[in-house]
Structure 1
């Protein structure tokens, strides 16, 4: 099989995961990342189902497990910090994950693990973006923001839900790729205090507001605000200045109760701040010619699915497998990637939006009812029994086997040795 020259746009999780497989199987891989340094930051993420299997096949399971966040589970609290229900993590190694996965990890730690596993045979270019590109049947010519250009066999857009690569390959009359869920979120880090432990807390406040607190080390605590609001003008907030964003969240959550005052005070000086509209990326176009999309750029399932990182890793594995299986026929490889992976995406994006919104009530009475239901479900041990005797959320979709990845990887390691 020919060795391909591949450019990956985006140095998050999906891009380096794909680079890992391609570089280890003899391809010439470059990752271009718009940030000036490795962006090893971000909040807590998790792996589930097939994502866990992928990192095992990558041979990175042990190092990832050594960096896991020790989160015991999720508790639902009221205004006075009283715990009404608790769903513990299933760390038995069997059955389905609960609200807290067995594989909880900070995004920055996972990014560093992928970087350490790839930088010796993958070229990283930081502080640079793809300005534009042209392609024909033989190659893709890419022009970069620093004025340089180069030619590749394949260009992969792994540049997030706001992907510029996706915008470039979609036709002008394509439908809007975002499925709006009527939800918005923000997260930041604050100093940990004596009330914080390894049990995550979720709190509901009238007005369609939810707060989540979780602590990942001895000095820091993560705060998440969720707001249910489908006002058409609200998405513009996320494109405003950080100061304007913080003013908005402060105004909407003022007086929400629980530890809100502490969280808003910590917001003022945090160095880790992020807010976004919660959306899904849905498009029929995952590739065009020699350009393909991966991760959130192709199929962001939204944070409420719990499958974003898993989807990125599974997509990278399938794409790498098809590229290696058909390296001399890239149109077929990309078509197979779409055919094999899309049923998985359809499953993880199958979110009942109405039910999701019911989980964040507008009124105090609605919150009381929801708390009672949560207490009853946990009292009957339904989450524990469901996780122990259920399969992970994979439905009928099974992770395919690509012997080409392991065989070619072993061959290249032998050559180097």
Structure 2
């Protein structure tokens, strides 16, 4: 089969998953990453529904399994540490996953697995990014950060919610389609050895004033902390420049001080953390994911936000469908017609799933957190409902907050790329 020259911008999970599949069917793949090496950092991610199917059809579940985080379930506690509900991992292989899935893995581990499976047949270039893209019927020409110019049959933006690739293909004056949800999240790890016989559970805590904390352990020597809040809960946090770690840390501390439970311990860990990252939560909602020979995949084109629990699944699913459509329609040449057909089919097949995951989020107009219970009485009602649901073994946490239910959408199958069936 004639090779297409394909450039993938971004060596994260989505970009590496796409590189794995496209290189497997014989295309010439170059992946560029602006960081100096593979980013093996990041906290826990999971796969759900079609993401699990995609993993299996790619034939890499065997490589994935040894790195699973042994999370056993989720408990919800109040400010005094009293447990109000517990929801174990669904290990039946049937139905929706719980908040903790049977496919929990550290982000860096999944990224490394995909890189190791592709590095012998994919060209990775670090400390490099695209500065400009021009295209015509025959090719897309990119100006790279080192000053060189190269031509490709297809350019793929897999460079995250803040995608520079996306911004380069927007029409002049067109607003960036990132829609803030009016929430931010701080992620970091806290060095603290596991206690003897300590279970590997995720623990959730809800505090008045649109504040929430989740902790989870994927390592015997440290645990992960996730802190969610409205940025306007602190003037310092509200006005903090993205990436100003000191202001972001101090702003989150102001928001959560005195919230109860283990907040003092977690805020002390926040002050000492060297892996802290603060994310302004939002979704990317676009009318079209491609322009000519440039296409977006994963968060770059349809970030669903951490609030849906579907970010990694959307990225893996999108990479799988895009690779499948390229394999199906671009098997003779890199003509504009074949590229256009593949990208149109990619969008037609995937969009119903993405629409289901993102449904209603763009319409919140930045006040997503305001739609959640925030008063002491409202939160107490939530705890009572969770207590009842836990007693009846009904996992309403996953049903309420996550978007795993695809409403009947089925992952397409591709004989060109599939290694295994479900």
TM-score by length of 1: 0.91
* Structure-2 residue corresponding to 1:414: none
Asked if structure 2 preserves the Cα contact closer than 8 Å seen for 1:76 and 1:86, the reply is yes
Structure 1 residues 343-352 or 120-129, which shifts more?
Answer: 343-352
Asked if structure 2 preserves the Cα contact closer than 8 Å seen for 1:206 and 1:367, the reply is yes
The equivalences for 1:143-222 within 5 A come to: 143-194=143-194, 197-222=199-224
* Structure-1 residue corresponding to 2:136: 136
Asked if structure 2 preserves the Cα contact closer than 8 Å seen for 1:95 and 1:392, the reply is no
Q: Does 1:247 align with 2:250?
A: yes
Offset, 1:304: 1.4
**Is the partner of 2:417 in helix, strand or coil?**
helix
Q: Work out the CA distance in 2 between the residues paired with 1:58 and 1:324.
A: 14
Q: Work out the CA distance in 1 between the residues paired with 2:70 and 2:203.
A: 14
* Structure-2 residue corresponding to 1:2: 2
Q: Work out the CA distance in 1 between the residues paired with 2:33 and 2:70.
A: 30
One of 265, 268, 280 as aligned partner of 1:265 = 268
Asked if structure 1 preserves the Cα contact closer than 8 Å seen for 2:58 and 2:418, the reply is no
**Is the partner of 1:97 in helix, strand or coil?**
coil
Offset, 1:360: 4.6
Offset, 1:346: 0.4
Deviation per CA, 1:305-330: give whole Å up to 9, x if none.
Answer: 11111111111111111111121310
* Structure-2 residue corresponding to 1:381: 393
Q: Work out the CA distance in 2 between the residues paired with 1:188 and 1:219.
A: 14
Offset, 1:175: 4.3
**Is the partner of 2:347 in helix, strand or coil?**
helix
**Is the partner of 1:382 in helix, strand or coil?**
coil
Q: Work out the CA distance in 1 between the residues paired with 2:349 and 2:214.
A: 36
* Structure-2 residue corresponding to 1:300: 303
Offset, 1:228: 3.2
Structure 1 residues 258-267 or 29-38, which shifts more?
Answer: 258-267
Structure 1 residues 398-407 or 338-347, which shifts more?
Answer: 398-407
**Is the partner of 2:240 in helix, strand or coil?**
helix
* Structure-1 residue corresponding to 2:352: 343
Shift in alpha-carbon separation, 1:232–1:219, aligned structure 2, 3 A: closer
Q: Work out the CA distance in 2 between the residues paired with 1:406 and 1:362.
A: 46
Q: Work out the CA distance in 1 between the residues paired with 2:392 and 2:36.
A: 51
**Is the partner of 2:326 in helix, strand or coil?**
helix
Asked if structure 1 preserves the Cα contact closer than 8 Å seen for 2:234 and 2:255, the reply is no
Asked if structure 1 preserves the Cα contact closer than 8 Å seen for 2:72 and 2:199, the reply is no
* Structure-1 residue corresponding to 2:98: 98
Shift in alpha-carbon separation, 1:292–1:164, aligned structure 2, 3 A: same
Deviation per CA, 1:254-289: give whole Å up to 9, x if none.
Answer: 111111111111112212111111101001121111
Q: Work out the CA distance in 1 between the residues paired with 2:389 and 2:140.
A: 55
Offset, 1:32: 0.2
The runs of 5 or more residues in structure 1 that have no matched partner are 410-417
Q: Work out the CA distance in 1 between the residues paired with 2:86 and 2:415.
A: 42
* Structure-2 residue corresponding to 1:362: 374
Asked if structure 1 preserves the Cα contact closer than 8 Å seen for 2:40 and 2:107, the reply is yes
Offset, 1:174: 2.9
Offset, 1:194: 4.8
Q: Does 1:80 align with 2:80?
A: yes
Q: How many residue pairs get matched?
A: 405
Offset, 1:176: 4.1
Asked if structure 1 preserves the Cα contact closer than 8 Å seen for 2:167 and 2:176, the reply is no
One of 332, 337, 341 as aligned partner of 1:332 = 341
Q: Work out the CA distance in 2 between the residues paired with 1:237 and 1:278.
A: 15
Offset, 1:351: 4.9
Q: Work out the CA distance in 1 between the residues paired with 2:413 and 2:385.
A: 42
Structure 1 residues 217-226 or 172-181, which shifts more?
Answer: 172-181
Structure 1 residues 84-93 or 293-302, which shifts more?
Answer: 84-93
**Is the partner of 1:128 in helix, strand or coil?**
coil
Offset, 1:104: 0.6
